Structure 1
Amino acid sequence: MSERDTYVAELIQLDGRGDHVSGICGGCHAPALSRCLDCDDLQLYCHECTVSNHVRSPTHRIQEWTGEFFQGVSLKTFGLRVQLGHPAGQRCILPRPAFNDEFVLIDINGIHEVGLDFCGCETSDTHVRQLLRHGWFPSTSIDPRTAVTFRLLRHFQILSFESKASAYEYYHSLVRLTDNTGLSKPKDRYNAFMRMVREWRHLKMLKRFGRGHEASGVEGTSQGECVVICPACPQPGMNLPDGWEHATKDKQWLYATFVAIDANFRLKRRNVSTNEADPSLSKGWSYFVEEADCKSYLAEHLGEAQEKSTCSSHNAVNMADTKLSQGLAATGVGTIDCARHNMKRGNGVGDLQKGEKYINMDYLFFSTLCNNSLKILNVSYDIACQWHKHIWSRMESLPQSHHLNHVSKTIRFFVPKFHLPVHVAKCQSLFSFNFTRFVGRTDGEAPERGWSNINPVASSTKNMGPGCRRDTLDDHFGDWNWKKVVGLGALLLNKMKDALVERAEHQAAFDEFDTVISIKHRATWLSEMVIWEQNPNDTSVPNPLETKAIAITQAGARLRLAELEANELERGIDVSLHPEVSPSVLIASGLDLEEEQHRLKSLVESMGMHVTDTQRGSIVRMRNSLRRKIETWGRVQILYMPAVLQGGRDDQHNAEDIILSLPSWMKNKPCDQRLQNNEWELRYAQAYDALEELRQCLRIHCSLLTFKREWVHGQGANTRAQNALTRVHARRTACVKRYRSAWTALKALAMLLKKRDWKGRLQELADDHIKPLVDPFGVGEGRRQVSWIWMMEGIDCNGDCDDDGKHQCYSRIKSDVLPGVRIEWCKSRVRALRWTEEVELLTEEMGRVIRFLHWDAQRWDERRSRLAVENPAHTEGLHAYAARQAHIRRRLAAHFHALWAPYLMPTLGPGINTTHAELSLPDLTMPDAPLMDADGFCDNHT
């Protein structure tokens, strides 16, 4: 702060000649009037020296002293001319100017008019070749008048990957760098710039995937060939050990393909241009499917009706035909990703026309898997429960090249973990990653993580033509995959560390749980679980993770009592003393009034000390209304319970404090046993109802706390989040009061009705019992104890049952021994199994990455001499590029092996050596040995 005046003074001094006020050029003693803003010094030079200093830097920005201030000028006005086809500073015998000197060069420093001379010698190359060999990319292959430096194209490509800046924003930033006043705008070359950027992306893709090393050239590129392959996934012939096809049954699951399907409706495209006017340069060579074949198939089947969802109301399925598509050529994109490592698959991306229709996703799914030779396929999709039903019959309508031999494969379908809770209960076990063997800790949510990276591009791609948009998205997907590849070292290492800790904790938790289970129950539950895991889709095999008891609810209890009264009326038995209110209705109404008293009392307590007149008036009106209801109910109560008149009612109490004198309160006073039984059934159901709502409140409260901790920032957002937590806490408190009321009443009624062993799994609710099933802020999994409130699953017939072993009121409910404990035991077991599988799967994936990188390095070694050309310079370039790519992959392999050494298997495969000494590699920790260069694909000097 104290040095601000110094800094400001120095900045202002630079607007003058500063220390160079002598005005004499140091090289030739001529008048010095110009300086360069992009050179390392601000020395003043004469015109001739300025030109000679910038023979190799024609895009630097020059300022000239006018006598009062500096003004920007062009090197072209000083006489600088760039000679192509000859070494810098050497003039051509027969130079040919660039079209009356109207040549524009775009560079990081701005947009410049350049004096350009093409070589006119007999051995000279075309203008395009001369520009390219000078590091300038021409705007057209015929008579180019504009070019962009390679340096700028590399800079923009990386900037667009990281910041998602559009070409429009970038170009106009260059315009302002050239002239920020708007008085001397350079010639508009935006359209040419867009074209050069797109061609650059395409050519770099072809170069990176070895098309320049193949005799067949660019036209020999096959579908999906220019894709950054996931090295951690099983790739036959690339990273699998010898004999993997004959692995034992307990190891076959390690060689499964995990794919995840999803759609993104942010990546829209408006109906501008056509495929004829703006075709894709790739033609299905990368991530997007080939457009012509896809559109042809969709045109034949787009009108077919789609089956409605029988699960939850999935808008993606049921409302596919109602998605707004006016003015849009594409409403979004569908993708097929690697489910474990979040990489886009080749030919796994395509446009959507109306919603997430099955035919679109089918085409993408079979396009990316048509050449898959692995025996096991795990497919994750948020609507998999509906989509998979008729998938094989729909496959028959696809071209033969897209057919998958599903009969010889084991194919399993899943719903991603985050999406699963909105599905019906049946789906939550049949399509769960958590409850299925041999999937580790895969969650299926990989595509969702990638959308946050690509969504910012939507604003610039929605107005592009079809081909330009596909090429741009292909480039971004390729960069995303490459970043994932170079990040596998840290990713798999962190996953492995986490998995080892979790495996130990969950195994300890299961062992602790297992010791308290009887041998008989353990053997039965294990047998049921193993059978179901082997036949999850067999409906005849009972699912041990589903409750076998029917939940008890107050609504169900009231219905049952009403049915019993209806049966009595049919037999001519009528014990009602009131024409409209039966005994069960009287007791049910009393419980409702009790609930209303609790709510009013909580409202009064929450008012605080400073109550306004408006609030006080509202409370008085509510009390008056409740009092009238109690008085009306009390007049009918006297008919059934005349003993309540002995003590009388205290009318001076507030309405919420009036004692209702239900049968459970009539300790030593006479009361009809029918009324006592009715209250018993309703109170029993009320206790279960209160516990269910309490569990729901605990889940919500835990979820909100986690969300608040991770995502909520700022005072306003925290206040809103805290208000939501307060509302949930109030609801939880009400549930606790309701349960304790029911528990007190049940204890009193049990004495009156002489009930023994009536408690079953119901217990007195202490404060330390009120805790979530898994507390994210509590103790670890190995030390937590499950509260009894989470072991409540329907009716428990340990006590009050009739001769047939059925509860007196719930005669239709099947008994089950400790269903809550059984389900929790099964879930604890599968948690331990999933983490054990995850450790084994991660170990295998680490080995696959090492093997793949060595295979890829060997492939680049073979490319060094694959293409025979006559030009020695071209031959040397082919060798140098292939050697550097092989070198990069070996360095990545060594780097990853150094990170993973404690967790890798002793052998990775024949012929793979991974130590630093064996590879003769430099120290990987040196700052001057980057693994990745500025263009994002290791395509620059390292």
Structure 2
Amino acid sequence: HWGFWNWQKLLGLGEQLRTRLDRAREEYSTQLAAFTEFSAQQVDRVDEWRTMVETFEADNGKPNPYAITTKALTERDVLLRLEEDDAKRTQSGVPSIHSVSPTSFISAGLEVEDEQCRVRAQVELKKAQTTAQKIDVVLLRRKLGQMMRCFRTLQATYTPAAIIALGQRVDVPEDEPPEAEPLFLPSALPEGQRQDEPLRGLAVIEQELCDAQCASSLVRLRNQLHIKSRLVTYKRIQSRNQGANTRSRTIVERNEMKIRLHSEKYQMVWDALRCLEGGDPGKVGQRKLRKEDIRCMEDAEELRRGAAKRQAQADRRRAREDTLREEGLSWRRGGGGNVREVSWIWTASATSTTEAELEEGAPLVASFLPQCTDSMSLSLVLRIEWCKVYARRNGQDALTTEWAKLSSECGLAELLTHHTQNTHTPTQSNPN
């Protein structure tokens, strides 16, 4: 059997290689068009980028043009820098209004906000309301209540306006859970109140921390979506046709809770940044995250092939409908397919810095930089993307050159054409 299978594989090599060659030629035209358009848009930088690629290919010890050379700043790095600034102001003689620094105050508020999100997610996850789950929810709310009381004490010193706004709320239910109680961080206060100290300085601190949290939340969301893809694949392939797969469902649901937690965190931080920018979404460096954007990464090539397949199906359906209409028969138009592209969360840069700050060697408030961005004309990101397109174009050129050489020397073109047109299957296996 193995000999027969190998013989069939050998006979099918001609057709298989010819099919791959035709597909490569078709892809070559697409890659060449993309490379030409990309190079025309960045004509001032192409020569420098090409020199970097050729130098690196000749000597791998040279700087890698495909790698990111920026230094990423995490949320902890931003917090450390702000704490150092507070310490310098204290040493220079600037009086402090509380033993807790302004940075620690804002950090505590953001931590309470994170705990509120976590409690809300746990409450919804444990909505079956068994006795053990009720006890867990009570303990979580008790811990959150203690954190909020400590934070309210600090608010009375730093932002008394927040305490006043909290007391002016109307129609507040008596049994309001702590996870639903607003915190009134500086971003939630009116813009006019943020023009004076200490609210103005607190708003700046919150904005910097929110920038870092926005980037870290997006990275964690991507990670959980990757995990979801693996878990769903495992459940579909390995846990199917089984009487009980409760454990698999529980793991998937737990991961869904984490996805929701990170997405809600991103949305809250983005809304805080919007408020700090005067309510203008265009001034926020990050994009708004919507529910339809939270999905796993689809390959762009697979999406393109799927679109071509759906187009062919639509053409066949229209031809069938025209035939039925000509014969006087009734026909019904089918529903449209799910046509969508890769979500922006997999292509958008996880940073809100400006173009000048993204030059090589500048720090980034992010721990992940993807292949390309949506609308930002960034030198570093464009260079990496151009180098990748250039490498793909060179690979296609090398394939075409090698094919022409082999065709002229060995007559492979005639051999492949012969096997494509006269494919046959032997009746007996080859003993060799």
Once the two structures are TM-superposed, the CA of residue 829 in structure 1 deviates from its matched residue by 4.5
Post-superposition Cα deviations, 1:179-214, rounded to whole Å, max 9, x if no partner, equal xxxxxxxxxxxxxxxxxxxxxxxxxxxxxxxxxxxx
TM-score (norm. length: structure 2): 0.70
Q: Which secondary structure state, in structure 2, belongs to the residue aligned with residue 511 of structure 1?
A: helix
Q: Are 2:312 and 1:791 equivalent residues in the alignment?
A: no
C-alpha distance in 2, partners of 1:492/1:700? 40
For 1:566, the aligned partner's letter is: A
- Aligned pair in 2 of structure 1 residues 486, 806: CA closer, same or farther (>3 Å)? closer
1:497 aligns to 2:9 (yes or no): no
Q: 1:823 and 2:384 equivalent?
A: yes
For 2:278 and 2:14, how far apart are their aligned partners in 1? 62
Instruction: Say if 2:190 is the partner of 1:670.
Output: no
CA offsets 1:237-272 (integer angstroms, 9 cap, x no match): xxxxxxxxxxxxxxxxxxxxxxxxxxxxxxxxxxxx
SS at match of 1:547: coil
Task: Report which structure shows greater RCO (CA 8 Å, sep ≥6).
Answer: 2
Q: 1:780 aligns with which of 296, 304, 307?
A: 304
Shift of 1:847: 9.2
**TM-aligned CA deviation for residue 673 of structure 1:** 0.8
Match of 1:586 in 2: 105
Provide closer, same or farther for how the CA distance between residues 773 and 658 of structure 1 changes in structure 2, counting only shifts above 3 A: same
Q: Among 161, 166, 191, which residue is 1:648 paired with?
A: 166
Equivalent-residue separation in structure 1 for 2:234 and 2:31 (angstroms): 26
Cα deviation per residue 1:327-363 (whole Å; 9 max; x = unaligned)? xxxxxxxxxxxxxxxxxxxxxxxxxxxxxxxxxxxxx
Partner residue of 2:275 out of 748, 752, 758: 748
Matching residue's letter, 1:715 = Q
1: CA distance, partners of 2:244 / 2:300: 21
Match of 1:899 among 413, 416, 419: 419
CA distance in 1, matches of 2:381, 2:62: 20
Cα-to-partner distance string for 1:272-317 (whole Å, 9 max, x where unaligned): xxxxxxxxxxxxxxxxxxxxxxxxxxxxxxxxxxxxxxxxxxxxxx
Q: CA deviation at 1:488?
A: 3.7
Q: Give, as a single letter, the amino acid of the residue that structure 2 aligns with 1:653.
A: E
The separation in 2 between residues aligned to 1:544 and 1:524, in whole angstroms, is 13
Q: Distance in 1 between matches of 2:387 and 2:353?
A: 19
1:830 maps to a residue whose letter is: A
The one-letter code matched in structure 2 to 1:578 is: H
* Superposition deviation, residue 776 in structure 1: 8.1
How far 1:681 moved relative to its partner? 0.3
Aligned AA (2:70): A
Q: Give 1:662 shift.
A: 0.4
Alignment RMSD, CA only?
Answer: 4.4
Q: Which amino acid aligns with 1:663?
A: P
1:358 counterpart residue number:
none
Separation in 2 of the partners of 1:723 and 1:844?
Answer: 57
Kindly indicate which of the two structures has a greater share of residues assigned to helix: 2
* AA matched with 1:692: V
Give the 3 Å change call, closer, same or farther, for CA 721–498 of structure 1 in structure 2.
farther
Question: Of 283, 288, 309, which residue of structure 2 is paired with 1:764?
Answer: 288
Q: Which residue of 2 aligns with 1:638?
A: 156
CA separation in 2, counterparts of 1:572 and 1:834?
A: 63
Q: Which amino acid aligns with 2:77?
A: G
Aligned equivalent of 2:123: 604
Residue identity opposite 1:780 in structure 2: R
Q: Using the alignment, how far apart are the partners of 2:25 and 2:149 within structure 1?
A: 62
Distance 1:648 1:719, change over 3 A: closer
- The SS at the match of 2:271 is helix
Deviation track 1:752-807 (CA, whole Å, cap 9, x = no partner) reads 9xx997434x22223444445544896226978554432316553248x7xxx989
- Which secondary structure does the structure 2 equivalent of 1:599 belong to? helix
Task: Give the equivalent residue in structure 1 for 2:326.
Answer: none
From 681, 692, 714, the equivalent of 2:219 is 692
What is the 5 A alignment of 1:189-588? 487-490=9-12, 493-494=15-16, 496-498=18-20, 500-501=22-23, 504-505=26-27, 507-508=29-30, 511-512=33-34, 515=37, 517=38, 519=40, 521=42, 524-525=45-46, 527-529=48-50, 531-536=52-57, 538=59, 541-575=62-96, 577-579=97-99, 581-588=100-107
- Partner-residue secondary structure (3-state), 2:42: helix
- The letter of the residue matching 2:186 is P
Q: Which residue type is aligned with residue 667 of structure 1?
A: P
Partner of 1:932: 430
CA 1:571–1:673: 2 relative to 1, 3 Å: same
Moved more, 736-745 or 547-556: 547-556
Aligned pair in 2 of structure 1 residues 622, 773: CA closer, same or farther (>3 Å)? closer
Cα distance between partner residues in 1 of 2:133 and 2:301: 38
Where 1:661 maps in the other structure, the secondary structure is coil
Please state how far the C-alpha of 1:653 moved relative to its aligned partner. Answer: 1.7
TM-score (norm 1): 0.35
In structure 1, distance between residues paired with 2:107 and 2:69: 28
Distance (whole Å) between structure 2 residues aligned to residue 837 and residue 709 of structure 1: 40
Q: 1:350: which partner in 2? A: none
Secondary structure at 1:780 match in 2: helix
Assess if the C-alpha contact under 8 Å between 1:505 and 1:780 holds in 2: no
Give 1:751 shift.
1.8
Residues 643 and 669 of structure 1 are in contact (CA less than 8 Å); yes or no, is this contact kept in structure 2?
A: no
CA distance in 2, matches of 1:706, 1:509: 31
Query: Which residue matches 1:728?
Result: 255
Distance 1:797 1:529, change over 3 A: same
Alignment check: 8 A CA contact 2:203 2:276 kept = yes
Q: CA, structure 1 residues 808+505, in 2 after alignment: closer, same or farther (shift >3 Å)?
A: closer
Contact 1:552/1:794 (8 A) holds in 2: no
Q: Distance in 2 between matches of 1:717 and 1:830?
A: 49
Cα drift, residue 588 of structure 1: 0.9
Contact between 2:214 and 2:350, CA under 8 Å: does it hold in 1? no
Contact 1:545 1:826 in 2 (8 A): yes
SS in 2 for 1:643: helix
Runs of at least 5 residues in structure 2 that lack an aligned partner in the other structure: 308-339, 367-375
Q: Which runs of 5+ in 1 are unaligned?
A: 1-157, 163-478, 852-893, 902-915, 917-922
| SS at structure 2 position matched to 1:535 | helix
**1:559-608 deviations in Å (ceiling 9; x for gaps):** 22112122223323343x322x2101111111111111111101112233
Separation of aligned partners in 2, 1:676 and 1:602: 28
Contact 1:505–1:781 under 8 Å retained in 2 = no
Which residue pairs with 1:426 in the alignment?
Answer: none
CA contact (8 A) 1:552 1:688 kept: no
Q: How much has 1:497 moved relative to structure 2?
A: 2.3
Larger radius of gyration: 1
| Aligned match of 1:224 | none
Task: Go from structure 1 to structure 2 and tell me whether the alpha carbon gap of 1:513 and 1:738 turns closer, same or farther (over 3 Å shift).
Answer: farther
**3-state SS of 2:30 partner:** helix
Tell whether the 8 Å contact from 2:213 to 2:266 is kept in structure 1 after alignment: yes
Q: Using the alignment, how far apart are the partners of 2:90 and 2:115 within structure 1?
A: 31
Does 2:180 correspond to 1:657?
yes
Aligned partners of 1:808 and 1:699: how far apart in 2? Answer: 24
Structure with higher strand content:
1
CA gap of 1:839–1:899, structure 2 versus 1, over 3 A, is: farther
The answer to whether the aligner puts 1:628 opposite 2:146 as a matched pair is yes
Amino acid in the other structure paired with 2:125:
S
Change beyond 3 A, Cα 1:709–1:511: farther
